[in-house]
Amino acid sequence: MELKKQELEDLTISFIVLTLVFSSFELTAIPYVALGIFTAFVFHEIAHRQVARKYGYYAIYKRWDTGIMLALFAGIINKLLGLRFIFAAVGAVQVYSLYAGWQDREIYGKISLAGPITNITVGIFALALLTLGKISGILGVSLYYTAYVNFLLALFNLLPIPPLDGYKVFRWNPGYWAVAIGVSFLFQSLL
């Protein structure tokens, strides 16, 4: 899983921006938020990329500078006005086919499902560690936040609205989409 220099830079900038926004620019919250953002955002994007490459597509993460500016602006407005709206569309994995304009609905559905499934898996793992391990303190708060952000990101991304993952999954297989969004909603509701 080799990351090109530009891709690593784009992931890093996106990660930093999301960490700042999700922590409400509170330095004391960053350590708790960072693990959740890293596992929710970076793992999600890498999962898309790896599944696309498995099917022979060229795939690379690219940041969206307009989205980054909107995320920072919304984060600052939230901080000033005490709101809780988070804009998190800071980039995406771009998937390229050898045949321009050609898409296999099933393969694109699987590529799209990989990110939310990764989030659900990480969220369940963090929740299990937190619950079964009776972990508290800094690690406990970090695990709670990891579960929370992963389930939230899965749920949001599974909305069947273009260009979100849920739209592509729903177009491919409404049954898989229903199970995935149902599971993410159930676990998000537990937190």
pLDDT of residue 125: 96
pLDDT of residue 7: 95
Share of residues in the chain with pLDDT > 70 (%): 97
Q: What residues are annotated to the active site?
A: 45
pLDDT of residue 104: 85
> What phi-psi label fits residue 134: left (phi over 0), alpha (psi between -120 and 50 degrees) or beta?
left
Environment class of residue 185 by beta-carbon count within 10 Å: exposed (0-12), middle (13-18) or buried (19+)?
middle
Token pair in block for residue 125: 């793992």
DSSP 3-state of 56: coil
- Distances in Å between the alpha carbon of 44 and those of 11, 59, 82, 131, 153? 11, 14, 29, 23, 9
Residue 2: pLDDT over 80: no
Task: Assess contact for 57 and 96: CB atoms under 8 A.
Answer: yes
pLDDT of residue 85: 83
- CB atoms under 10 Å from CB of 68, counted, come to 21
Residue 1: pLDDT over 80: no
Residue matched to tokens 């969220």: 123
Residue 100: pLDDT over 90: no
Phi, psi (5° rounding) for residue 87? Answer: -100, 120
Q: In this predicted model, what pLDDT tens digit does every residue of 156-165 receive, in sequence order?
A: 999 999 989 9
pLDDT of residue 84: 83
Q: In this predicted model, what pLDDT tens digit does every residue of 21-68 receive, in sequence order?
A: 999 999 999 988 999 999 999 999 999 999 999 999 999 999 999 999
Please tell me the distance from the alpha carbon of residue 90 to that of residue 70, in angstroms, as a whole number.
8
Residue 133: pLDDT over 60: yes
Task: Assess contact for 88 and 28: CB atoms under 8 A.
Answer: no
